[in-house]
């Protein structure tokens, strides 16, 4: 059986634990600038309709009495590592899928710890005793069903879906609960009178693939309770990004490039820390109408150079006609490969040689900042 552990309102709960005066209050994690978005909201705030990714100004209208807390990502990452350590005490097969959720495969662990239900209760108790936090756990035969189950009795919930109940569960599962079913896919399914996941079985797989592409094939499998994905410990990083919501909408590309510079430094630093290189650089923008725009560039050779990442993002920005004012800007790196991947160089390969030079400079700066602090050295403008 698979367990899906989902921390309850993780960021907000950590803040309430670290600051007892916040317990019982409406806590919203996010910069109270009127321009940002909600990173997390306590369950007290959620009662007023506040949700993650909601614009701060909207959250303030819904819950004017809320206490706003600036996010402390390093603190949340530290707590997350300790929680993942607790999970590892119960099974060697732990897959952290985000900072606040993980899958645990407990097959073969019954002799040590008992039934999956008992293991789940032990995990909940350990997390509460050691960390002062609550979590919700779903138990099911596969990852897909376990994730759905963990969301059914939140907060502090536990839902067990035995194999013999899977068919009945699928028949009554609202189709919008299936990961990947968004507004557009939902419209297609509604036109087919698919209201519950079980309704999918009225159609042939080939018909669903014709209408929905690859997702149609997965949806067909899920409708039969089949999910072959395994719990994979230490899942490799797929992308690294940094973004910033501006205090004021901007239409000046020079100003936007200043943000790109610092974001490229952060992305490059993270790549070097994880000994990775990126093949693709992505520029992310969100305009004043909240429309999100992304533009990507594949590099000639994989890089971990902050300067190379910045130049790629900057060129993508230059090539884009802003049209409207921008409220959010970000840089991402994907197509990640191991840092030791050989990079072919030649006497005539100028860009590659410059990239290698910048990587040496970046690594030297990393060593200095790790020893003397993040503000000890900066690149010139």
- Please report, rounded to a whole number, the percentage of residues in the chain having pLDDT higher than 70: 88
Predicted pLDDT of residue 360:
67
Looking at residues 151-172, what average pLDDT do you find? 94
Task: Write the pLDDT tens digit of every residue in 66-101.
Answer: 999 999 988 999 999 999 999 999 999 999 988 999
Predicted pLDDT of residue 356:
61
- In the chain, the domains with their CATH numbers are 10-73 (3.40.1170.60), 166-222 (1.10.150.20), 239-372 (3.30.1490.100)
136 falls in which pLDDT band (50, 70, 90)? Answer: very high
Does the pLDDT value for residue 376 go beyond 70? no
Task: Write the pLDDT tens digit of every residue in 227-261.
Answer: 988 998 876 678 899 998 887 888 889 999 999 99
51 falls in which pLDDT band (50, 70, 90)? Answer: very high
- In whole numbers, what is the pLDDT of the chain averaged over residues? 88
Looking at residues 30-43, what average pLDDT do you find? 84
Per residue, the 3-state secondary structure of the chain, as one string, reads: CEEEEEECCHHHHHHHHHCHHHCCCCEEECCCCCCCECCEECHHHHCCCCCCCCEHHHHHHHCCCCEEECCCHHHHHHHHHHHHHHHHCCCCCEEEEECCEEEEECCCCHHHHCCHHHHHHHHHHHHHHHHCCCEEEEEECCHHHHHHHHCCCCCCCEEECCHHHHHHHHHCCEHHHCCCCCHHHHHHHHHCCCCEHHHHHHCCHHHHHHHHCHHHHHHHHHCCCCCCCCCCCCCCCCEEEEEEEEEEEECCHHHHHHHHHHHHHHHHHHHHHCCEEEEEEEEEEEECCCCEEEEEEEEEEEECCHHHHHHHHHHHHHHCCCCCCEEEEEEEEEEEEECCCCCCCCCCCHHHHHHHHHHHHHHHHHHHHHHHCCCCCCCCC
Give the predicted TM-score (pTM) of the model.
Answer: 0.68
Predicted pLDDT of residue 218:
93
From the candidates 44, 101, 265, 307, which is the catalytic residue?
Answer: 101
Known active-site residue 15: no
Does the pLDDT value for residue 124 go beyond 70? yes
């Amino acid at each position: 059986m698979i367990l899906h552990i989902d921390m309850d309102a993780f960021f907000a709960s950590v803040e309430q634990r670290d600051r007892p005066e916040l317990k019982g209050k409406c806590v919203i994690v996010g910069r109270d600038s009127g321009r940002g978005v909600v990173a997390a909201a306590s369950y007290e705030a959620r009662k007023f309709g506040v949700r993650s990714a909601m614009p701060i100004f909207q959250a303030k209208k819904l819950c004017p009495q809320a206490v706003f807390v600036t996010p402390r990502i390093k603190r949340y990452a530290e707590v997350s590592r300790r929680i993942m350590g607790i999970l590892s005490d119960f099974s060697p097969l732990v897959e952290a899928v985000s900072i606040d959720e993980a899958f645990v495969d407990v097959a073969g662990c019954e002799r040590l710890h008992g039934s999956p239900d008992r293991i789940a209760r032990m995990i909940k108790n350990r997390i509460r005793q050691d960390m002062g936090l609550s979590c919700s756990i779903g138990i099911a035969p596969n990852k897909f069903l376990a994730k759905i189950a963990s969301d059914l009795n939140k907060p502090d919930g536990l839902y067990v879906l035995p194999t013999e109940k899977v068919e009945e569960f699928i028949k009554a599962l609202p189709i919008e609960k299936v990961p990947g079913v968004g507004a557009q896919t939902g419209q297609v399914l509604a036109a087919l009178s698919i209201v519950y996941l079980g309704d999918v079985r009225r159609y042939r797989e080939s018909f669903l693939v014709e209408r929905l592409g690859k997702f149609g094939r997965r949806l067909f499998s899920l409708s039969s309770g089949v999910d072959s994905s395994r719990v994979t410990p230490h899942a490799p990083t797929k992308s690294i990004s940094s973004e910033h919501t501006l205090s004021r909408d901007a239409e000046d590309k020079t100003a936007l490039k200043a943000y790109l510079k610092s974001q490229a430094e952060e992305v490059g630093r993270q790549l070097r820390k994880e000994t990775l290189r990126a093949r693709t650089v992505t520029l992310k923008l969100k305009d004043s109408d909240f429309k999100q725009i992304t533009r990507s560039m594949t590099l000639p050779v994989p890089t971990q150079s902050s300067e190379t990442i910045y130049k790629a993002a900057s060129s993508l920005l230059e090539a884009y006609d802003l049209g409207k004012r921008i409220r959010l800007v970000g840089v991402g790196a994907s197509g990640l490969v191991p840092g030791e991947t050989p990079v072919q160089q030649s006497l005539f390969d100028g860009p590659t040689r410059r990239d290698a030079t910048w990587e040496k400079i970046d690594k030297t700066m990393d060593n200095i900042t790790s020893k003397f602090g993040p503000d000890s050295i900066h690149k010139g403008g």
